[in-house]
Structure 1
Amino acid sequence: MLGILVFALLLLVLLIHGQELEHLEEHQNCNIDVFHAQDSVNGPILIDTSPLTPFESPRLSAVNYTAWEQWYFDSVAADGLSNTVITFFRDPTSHTGLGSLWVMHDAVWPNGTRSSIITYVDQAQIIQCPGYTYGLWNSSTRSTMFSFNVTSDLKQASISISTAKTKGSWDITTLGPARYPDGLLYPNPGASTLFVPMCWWVEAMPAGIVQTSFEIAGSKFAFTGYGGVDYFAGSYIWDYICRDWYWMRGVVGPYSIVFWKFTSAIDNNTYTSAFLVQDGSVLFSTQNSENILATNPLAAYAKLTLLYGGKVSASMGANDTGYTLDFVEGTKHGGRSWHFDLQHENIGYQTDADINDMYTRFADSATGGQKGRNEYIGAMNSEQILVKVVYPIP
Structure 2
Amino acid sequence: MARIILLSIFLTTLSLLATAASLSRDRQVFNIPSAIQAGPSIAQFKSSSHGLDAPKLSSVNGSAFDWWYFDAISTDPDNLASVVITLFTTVHDALPFVETTDNVLTADIIVSFPNGTRVKADILADSATVIAEGNTSSGEWHGTGFKWSGGPLGYTITINSPLVGVKGSIHFLPVAPPHLPCGPVQAGQTLEVGPHIGWANVMPDAKVSVDLVVNGTRVAFNGIGYHDKNWSDQPFPTHVASWYWGHAHVGPYSLVWFDFLDRTGTEYVSAYLAKNGKIITATCAADSISVRPNDGSAFPPVLSTPNPTGYHISLKRGRMEADVHLVRDLVDPTPAYGRFIGEVTATIDGKKFQGMAVCEQFKLTN
Deviations 1:215-261 (CA, angstroms, capped at 9, x unpaired)? 11222222211121112111233322111110010201101000010
Look up the match of 2:30. 33
Verify: 1:372 aligned to 2:360, yes or no: no
Verify: 1:145 aligned to 2:172, yes or no: no
Distance 1:130 1:71 in 2: 16
- In the TM superposition, 1:27-176 aligns within 5 A as 31-41=28-38, 43-52=39-48, 53-79=50-76, 81-93=80-92, 94=98, 96-129=100-133, 133-139=137-143, 144-151=144-151, 153=152, 155-164=153-162, 165-176=165-176
- In the TM superposition, 1:282-297 aligns within 5 A as 282-289=279-286, 292=287
**Aligned residues of 2:52 and 2:134 also touching (Cα < 8 A):** no
Moved more, 173-182 or 129-138: 129-138
Look up the match of 2:321. 339
Distance 1:240 1:49 in 2: 17
**Aligned residues of 1:286 and 1:302 also touching (Cα < 8 A):** no
Distance 1:132 1:287 in 2: 23
Distance 1:82 1:47, change over 3 A: same
Distance 1:48 1:302, change over 3 A: closer
What is the TM-score of this pair, normalised by structure 1? 0.77
Gaps in structure 2 of 5+ consecutive residues = 1-22, 93-97, 297-302
Distance 2:141 2:75 in 1: 29
Distance 1:95 1:377, change over 3 A: closer
Distance 1:280 1:352 in 2: 36
Distance 2:362 2:229 in 1: 18
How far 1:39 moved relative to its partner?
4.3
Verify: 1:178 aligned to 2:178, yes or no: yes
Distance 1:36 1:109 in 2: 34
Distance 2:166 2:43 in 1: 33
Distance 1:269 1:28 in 2: 42
Deviations 1:297-356 (CA, angstroms, capped at 9, x unpaired)? xxxx212231239xxxxx974331111212112xxxxxx621222111110013556xxx
The amino acid of 2:131's aligned partner reads I
Moved more, 164-173 or 104-113: 104-113
Identity of aligned residues (%): 25
Distance 1:131 1:264, change over 3 A: closer
The amino acid of 2:41's aligned partner reads I
**Aligned residues of 2:51 and 2:133 also touching (Cα < 8 A):** no
Distance 1:264 1:82 in 2: 33
Deviations 1:370-393 (CA, angstroms, capped at 9, x unpaired)? 1422x222111000111145xxxx
What is the TM-score of this pair, normalised by structure 2? 0.83
Look up the match of 1:327. 315
The alignment yields a C-alpha RMSD, in angstroms, of 2.5
Distance 1:270 1:66, change over 3 A: same
Distance 2:233 2:30 in 1: 21
Gaps in structure 1 of 5+ consecutive residues = 1-26, 293-300, 310-314, 330-335, 390-394
Verify: 1:381 aligned to 2:358, yes or no: yes
SS across alignment from 1:349 = coil
How far 1:262 moved relative to its partner?
0.6
Distance 1:56 1:215, change over 3 A: same
**Aligned residues of 1:227 and 1:250 also touching (Cα < 8 A):** no
Distance 1:316 1:77 in 2: 32
